[in-house]
Amino acid sequence: MNPVKALEQHGQAVWLDFLARGFIAKGDLKKLIDVDGVKGVTSNPSIFEKAIGSSDEYDGAIGSALNGGDRPVIDLYEALAVEDIQHAADVLRPVYDKYDGNDGYVSLEVSPYLALDTKATIAEAERLWKQVGRSNLMVKVPATPEGIPAIKHLISKGISINVTLLFAQQVYIDVAEAYLEGLEAYVAGGGDPSHIGSVASFFVSRIDSAVDKQLDDKIAKANDPTEKARLAALQGKVAIANAKLAYQHYKRLFAGERWGKLKAAGAKPQRLLWASTGTKNKAYRDVVYVEELIGPNTVNTVPPATLDAFRDHGVPRDSLEENIDDAKQVLADLDAAGISLDDIAKQLVKEGVQLFADAADKLLGAVAHKRETVLAQRIDQQTLALGTTLAKSVADSSEEWRAAGKIRRLWEGDASVWSNTDEAKWLGWLHSAAAEKTKLADYQDFAAWVKREGFTDAVVLGMGGSSLGPEVLAETFGQTPGFPKLHVLDSTDPAQVRATRDAVNLTSTLFIVSSKSGGTTEPNVMKAYFFAQVSAMLGADKAAAHFVAVTDPGSSLEKLAKEQGFARIFHGDPTIGGRYSVLSPFGLVPAAAAGIDVAKFLDSALAMVRSCGADVPPQQNPGVQLGLALGLAGQAGRDKVTILSSKAVADFGAWAEQLIAESTGKDGKGLIPIDGETLGDVSAYGNDRFFIDLRTEAETDAAHDAKLQALEQAGHPVARIVLTSADQIAQEFFRFEIATAVAGAVLGINPFNQPDVEAAKIKTRELIEAFEKAGSLPAEKPAISTAEADLYTDDKNEATLRKAGADGDLASWLKAHFARAGAGDYVALLAYIARNPDHIDTLQHIRLAVRDRRHVATCAEFGPRFLHSTGQAYKGGPDSGVFLQITADDAHDLAVPGQKASFGVIKAAQARGDFNVLTERRRRALRVHLKGDLASGLKMLDDAISKAIN
């Protein structure tokens, strides 16, 4: 007789430890049932990983599943696994029926990530039980300390359970006790236990592998030949002895009065199932863990190779209760040898959980790769060229993150991923795209109202995250027919405020006042100005219909908006910081107003959310990979993140600049983003650069690509991101958010606070209060004064610059100042003037000249806009900046309704507050105040800097 089928005569059921789609579909499982008498199937992450990741048999199913819409990687895997389990259960159903529910089961494991979480294990087991919907399913739950109470609860709810990762006899007793108590609770609640099945999976070969390793060490150290022989005699014996004694506990536990009552009610015993029965030591007989553990009411789950081997040369016999005294002696001798089987068992449980988690990571990584392949045209592509050293660091760190489950911990809000302070309070951005998708009707209603009202323009009045995200949308999407043109004002410069006023028709303009706290100076004064302007034309009542507010619940802005009767109030999420808020109402309200398809926009964002999800291992997770590369490069001195954006997405760098700088630049650490620096020759750069190149698929620039390739070949790390089209920019918002959060973790900082931004705000408020009292800002004494400009700095900087040759002319001060920029430094131009094309061109000309001459990274910023952006890194980040602040006389000031301080005074206070904090932090800072005509002053400054650096 077939030795496998003959096991039936000894009371043992054979289950197969294998599952694959083709194996079921081609009838191979059915054949094993018919020929070998196989009565069940077990699965685990390792089995599914081999089935899905090592073949193409699931590719069609994955493609079909995604044709119905994108889904998270874990959902995609579960859809495949559940379908396989259902098909296997259906094939095994005749066995289940024939043996009255004693056999015919298929097992599906709860996520190994939940092995140490009782509540989560229960919730997932209940969900899988319901999702599979087959009475011959057993849900696999590990016998961890947290798993045992889950087992009891699940049995009490009538769910069949396969208890896995059992190694120790006492733990088995605890598991059996949990089963009995669960049955008793179920029966006490009026349940019929006859449909409940359970097995306790007692692992075998892994014990011998662990014990033999320790025995080998002791044998090598022993000097006495007799002792060596005694130790060697234990090898390959412990696992079987341990299992035999566990079976003796089984006989005791499922007998007597207590069990009799449950049996009378229809309950089935929880059979011992021998798992891990494939022989790992080639010195042992390949069927030893089958032949030596045959006995009544047991199950042996075998991998295909072991099944084939036993069919070929296995010898069935009633072996399980042979030599019980010898088994006891084996364990006694092991203990006498100083080897603790209990300690080994505990370690094996820990390792088993990790091994299954490792397999799950590999499995989900394979599914993630297949998903990305199917959705190639719907997901922006990223490639990293990091060089050998950085690439190895990223690979090593990726593995460390994977093994520690850090990406899952990040998504769960574990603050210890970062600095273990208040990070958990600021993670709403992780879920904002999904959350806002549920509010589509509100955005669509708002968009319809905007269109119906006939607004020709929409102006966002905000700063930082409230303005930079909408600015990207305005520049990237342009104007939608039938909807207003979107503008952004994020300045207190009188000329820029006036330019915005002149660019729109106030009587047909919608103003979006955007401030999370409601207390930010700039949006409040901008709102006051434009509300007064519109009121003067239409009256206050009608003016209010031109204003909407985006703010956090309970803010002062919300209160004011209600008092003045704003047309709409949209609430932000208090758990989302401003720079992470573009996929929340702070970005979506302007998007809807501009006629951007919010549903499509969010769907695009969600594609990247899924690619960067908690279920995607670091190695396959694009956001995590970029973040690790940025953080590790920064630690290695390449902390100048140079963002290159093609024409179609040119404004993205300004948003990313704020995100990276404000998130990472603190505690003397950080990444310094470099936006707007056009690409130069290799000779222009030091060894402190990391390049990120974004472009759309349709855009080509051979000269740019050649320069980028030359930089890569010269050893500079390069990240290339290709968008299928510009309207997929939403994906990049999330990619960079997750990457920045990960980079912050690498750097060991809190990427969600901005302590040094607050410092500048405090200084500004003090200066404005002084103006309110005295009617003027406090007097300043320049270091030098000329007809064209005044120069200011603190005593320490002044002494240093004079010692370096600065005297009575501007050029000498600039020469001494820029000479302070050395390798690894950057030069930042901080201009408190209107941000317009002419001024942008002037600053660009200056910065590129400095870069090419001094070979340092350069920043060209406009104040006060940058205060809510890169200002954090300049003050709190690494002390590698050389700062030239540029201020100027305002040709025409503008009054702020209801305040003594004008726009010009507020801007001046902001500039001085900013500069004061820079000098207090001992930064290398110099301020040039231009007098008279601004255009002439800027040209003079350009010429002076050109002389100074040559």
Catalytic sites, residue numbers:
140
Q: What stretches of 640-754 show up as alpha helix (H) in DSSP?
A: 652-664, 702-713, 729-747
Q: What share of the chain is helix, strand, coil (3-state, %, to 5)?
A: 55, 15, 30
Whether cis (ω within 30° of 0) applies to the bond prior to 481 is no
DSSP 8-state class, residue 493: -
Question: Chain-centre distance of CA 136, in angstroms?
Answer: 37
Whole-number Å distance between alpha carbons of 801 and 793: 10
Whole-number Å distance between alpha carbons of 102 and 370: 38
Residue 271's SS3 state is strand
Nearest to 850 by CA among 810, 892, 884, 802: 884
Whole-number Å distance between alpha carbons of 588 and 45: 40
Q: What residues does 164 pair with on adjacent strands?
A: 142
**Residue 899: Cβ-neighbour burial (10 angstroms; 0-12, 13-18, 19+):** middle
Task: Please give the helix or strand (H or E) that residue 384 lies within, else none.
Answer: strand 381-385
Amino acid at 273: L
User: For the sheet containing 689-696, what is the strand order?
Assistant: 381-385, 718-723, 689-696, 640-645, 672-675
Nearest to 909 by CA among 765, 736, 725: 765
At a CB cut-off of 8 Å and minimum separation 6, what does 209 contact?
Answer: 280, 281
At a CB cut-off of 8 Å and minimum separation 6, what does 31 contact?
Answer: none
Whole-number Å distance between alpha carbons of 850 and 945: 8
Whole-number Å distance between alpha carbons of 944 and 657: 28
CA atoms within 13 A on the CB side of 150: 27
User: For the sheet containing 924-930, what is the strand order?
Assistant: 784-785, 789-792, 924-930, 881-888, 826-831, 857-862
Task: Annotate 128-178 with DSSP letters as a single string.
Answer: HHHHH--TTEEEEEE-STTHHHHHHHHHHTT--EEEEEE--HHHHHHHHHH
Nearest to 247 by CA among 180, 324, 182: 324
In angstroms, the Cα distances linking 699 to 642, 646, 720, 724 are 20, 8, 13, 10
Task: Please give the helix or strand (H or E) that residue 779 lies within, else none.
Answer: none
Any idea which residue has 């499995």 for tokens? 363
Task: Annotate 337-361 with DSSP letters as a single string.
Answer: TT--HHHHHHHHHHHHHHHHHHHHH
Residue 796's SS3 state is helix
| 180 contacts 152 by C-beta, under 8 angstroms | no
